[in-house]
Amino acid sequence: MKTIGILVFDDVEELDFTGPLEVFAMASLSLDLKVLTVAETANEVRCRYGLRMIPSCSFHDCPQLDLLIVPGGPGARNHARFSPVILEFVREQQGFVASVCTGALVLAAAGVLKNEDATTHHTRFDLLREYEGVSVKENVRMTMGKRVATSAGVSAGIDLALALLAKFWGEKAAANVAENMEWQSKSWRPLRDGAQAP
């Protein structure tokens, strides 16, 4: 079984994490995978637009992850990318790491995007360029490397999750989830290592 963790923190953008959560949770109905939300502590997280949620686990009791997804939002820009505890958690990951929207700033601050192609929300390219060694790609839906992927803003996280599902479990599995979700975008397929989706 593969375990997918989605990082959450105060002021996280709701769709940045609920989109990928929906993709992987739906896939888990027929595939051998588990998806959970992870936060620094087990305390309630207050999201950007008022949603309150309790994470599945804290950093302390988080199992080993095969994939970590880092969402964005004001909390990513103003807190998570400056948090030594969050950055260390991201650095410690041995599996694949991906970001949605300004979650790329957290990956960059953790050093994960050095010498990698990356994208983020179109209004935050300037912030991403502040990190040395990051090759910022504009006008792409996502980037996919050997161990790191990034996506553009908000709804692009659904395409990213579908692309990762296709990468690890096959295109048919991803197509089935996209059909069940009635997701119209085709930006997630096919996306190979080193590619950027338009």
Q: What's the burial of 181, exposed, middle or buried (CB within 10 Å: 0-12/13-18/19+)?
A: middle
| SS3 (DSSP) at 23 | helix
Q: Could you confirm whether 101 is annotated as catalytic?
A: yes
The residue extents of the domains of the chain are: 2-197
What single DSSP character describes residue 80? G
Cα 97 from Cα 67, distance rounded (Å): 6
- The CATH number of the structural domain formed by 2-197 is 3.40.50.880
Query: Are 142 and 150 contacting, i.e. CB atoms less than 8 angstroms apart?
Result: yes
Query: Are 112 and 146 contacting, i.e. CB atoms less than 8 angstroms apart?
Result: no
Cα 46 from Cα 49, distance rounded (Å): 8
pLDDT in tens, 126-148: 999 999 999 999 999 999 999 99
Query: Are 104 and 72 contacting, i.e. CB atoms less than 8 angstroms apart?
Result: yes
Query: Are 166 and 27 contacting, i.e. CB atoms less than 8 angstroms apart?
Result: no
pLDDT in tens, 175-198: 999 999 999 988 887 655 555 555
Name the catalytic one among 47, 57, 62, 101: 101
> At residue 69, what is the residue type?
I
Q: Which of 89, 85, 110, 128 is nearest to 6 (CA)?
A: 89
Mean residue pLDDT of the chain comes to 95
Using 50 as the pLDDT threshold, list the residues of the chain that sit under it: none
| SS3 (DSSP) at 1 | coil
Query: Are 170 and 33 contacting, i.e. CB atoms less than 8 angstroms apart?
Result: no
